[in-house]
Amino acid sequence: MSDLSGEVIDGRYELITLLASGGMATIYEALDLRLDRKVAVKIMHPHLAEDEKFISRFIREAKAAAALSHPNIVAVQDQGWNQGGAPAVFLVMELVEGHTLREYLLERGTLTTVEVLRFLIPVASALAAAHKIGIVHRDIKPENILISLSGRVKIADFGLAHGELIGSTMTAESSVLLGSVSYLSPEQVQRGVADSRSDVYSLGIVAFELLTGQKPFSGDSPIQIAYKHVNEKVPAPSSINPDVPAEFNALVIDSTRTNPDERPRDAEEFLTRLIAIQAALDPQRPQLSLELDLPPAPIREKPRTPKRTPAPALDSPTERVEPTVSKETKKGNIKKDSSSHPKKTSDRVRRNRKIAGTLVLILAVAIWYLVSGFGAKVVVPSVVGGNVTQATAALTPLGLHTEVADRIFSEDIPAGIIISSRPAGGGHVKPGATVSFVVSKGPERYIVPSLVKLTANAALSLLKSNSLAAGNVTEVFNPKIAKGLIITTTPAANSSVTRDTSIDLVISKGPELLALDSYVGKSAEQALNELTDAGFKVDPVYVYSDTVATGAVITQTPDGPLNAPKGTKIALTISKGSELVYIPNVYSLTLLAATGLLQDLDLVVTVKQMGNRAIKNVTNVLPKVGTQVKRGSTVIITVG
């Protein structure tokens, strides 16, 4: 399928970058133009979009994931057909920025038991939620388990899921084998049927691979692997990794039994045993519930009568002043007591007033300093995600200078894009200050140099200078490359790889030497058979010889006994017997018998017919009987 990056699907989703491509669809990072957010858009290949069965599977994936609401399942947000532009049947999902469990496993190899639990518990929790509503995933494998940058584990690709809510197309009668063969349960291989116990089997295989760093079965073809899943028991993980706890060992064995009835019935039971293993390994660790559906808090009714406002407390908790209002006061006639004096302000009030005044003065000076005075600052806008040219264009009008402080490799950010700035966006600097950038150099990649015909030491030195490492070294015979020199590498020369990638080397042991015997005087047939079986190339030449019997070897080049490289060309000269023969007596023989005898001696026969007899015999021979002639000579016989 051609790259659709830059296309707008359904007038809403702008395809930005191609993320992955499989046998059924291609996944793009896209921008939802309506909600201004990034999403993942899965587009079915055009040649499949004409097949109703594949469209049905594609829509079933949308229904399967949409029927589930779980933090560990990739959410489906939309599905449809592109109405304009490139024809496309598409599915819109949340964009999980991160990597797959397969990539993590390839980088780490065998994981610790604690790490395995950290990945399997959320996966089992998500599957348990699916199994509760009758949905079976049917394609659990590390490639379909995503790990976001924040560490959230999510299950993706419900393309093979089935259940009561979404229907099913795989039946025992269809005999269609879907899914990844290394993780398929025996019943899926044999009968093409699957239920929750099939997902448990696949989850057990994933657990085995995480604990041991390898799959339980391997073979030259998928059929061989499928056969082993049906006819062989999955070995205990502890047989490969002795550090696997006994409880985990038992869980993997129980989950991968050939008979589905002997496995945990669903992911909920698998999850329960995982949590028990986690509690046994770390009793001090708080075992939080994974159940996310919390009971709603009851709504309290508002009081119908307003609460009374309490009277303000006085300085002394024991004194309360009750003001007395006379009738004259109510009428406006206020009597002044000549003996009363104005109330004196307390020391505490005067102190509080001084503190408040001082704070107001300090605040006013600070505002003036920051806004209009020498402390005025410029707010630095965020430039992360843009290039240096765009950042300079944004900062220069603000009176700021720019510089590239460093360039570093990044697996996630394209080359030339700003990773961070100092100060960061939102920071304050003085006018004329310099904002420095850290710019991405893109993914750190190195080109594998050509090491063919170099010595091992020279190759190691060259790999080290290119930030690469030597991997496995294999020695093989090679007739063209001298002993000790490199024949080939894996990855091959000019491949782009990451730093410290191990490069496997194949080194020549030189040509393979074989024992070569002499066959001079021996049967040519024996020589041809034995030399060819030993690995030599034989070039026979047939000549006449008066001294060597017919079919015997006259000369051999090179001649033995000696050691010669495998594939050496051996020239044999083989005798055809003497070149001279005697004319035999063929008188009175029938035409057919006489002709056969003469032709066996490599003579050319010419026949003269005489008379009308039905059965004719030889009456004359030229040259005469007993004459010595060369093979290939002509002999005239007369019959009558």
- As annotated, the active-site residues are 139
Q: Report the chain's terminal Cα–Cα distance, integer Å.
A: 84
Count of beta carbons in the 10 Å neighbourhood of residue 90: 24
CB of 465 closer than 8 Å to CB of 493: no
Residue showing tokens 């034995």:
530
Distance CA 385, CA 404 (A): 14
* Crossing angle (nearest 10°) for helices 196-212 and 113-132: 170
Question: How would DSSP label each residue in 482-548?
Answer: -TTBEEEEESPTT-EE-TT-EEEEEEE--SPEEEE---TTSBHHHHHHHHHHHT-EEEEEEE--SSS
Distance CA 135, CA 238 (A): 32
Phi/psi at 84 (5° precision): -135, 155
Longest Cα–Cα distance of the chain, Å, equals 189
Query: Which amino acid, residue 556?
Result: Q
Q: Which two tokens stand for residue 60?
A: 């079933």
Count of beta carbons in the 10 Å neighbourhood of residue 229: 25
Phi/psi at 57 (5° precision): -65, -40
CB contact set of 85 (below 8 Å; sequence gap of 6+): 7, 8, 9
> Helix, strand, or coil here: 120?
helix
Count of beta carbons in the 10 Å neighbourhood of residue 565: 15
Question: How would DSSP label each residue in 158-215?
Answer: -TT-EETTTB----TTT----S-GGG--HHHHHTS---HHHHHHHHHHHHHHHHHSS-
Count of beta carbons in the 10 Å neighbourhood of residue 349: 9
Distance of CA 486 to the CA centre of its chain: 29
* Length of the chain in terms of residues written: 640
Distance CA 530, CA 426 (A): 85
Count of beta carbons in the 10 Å neighbourhood of residue 195: 18
Distance CA 572, CA 524 (A): 8
Could you tell me how many helices (H) and strands (E) the chain has, helices first?
14, 31
Distance CA 198, CA 170 (A): 13
Distance CA 103, CA 88 (A): 29
CB of 138 closer than 8 Å to CB of 162: yes
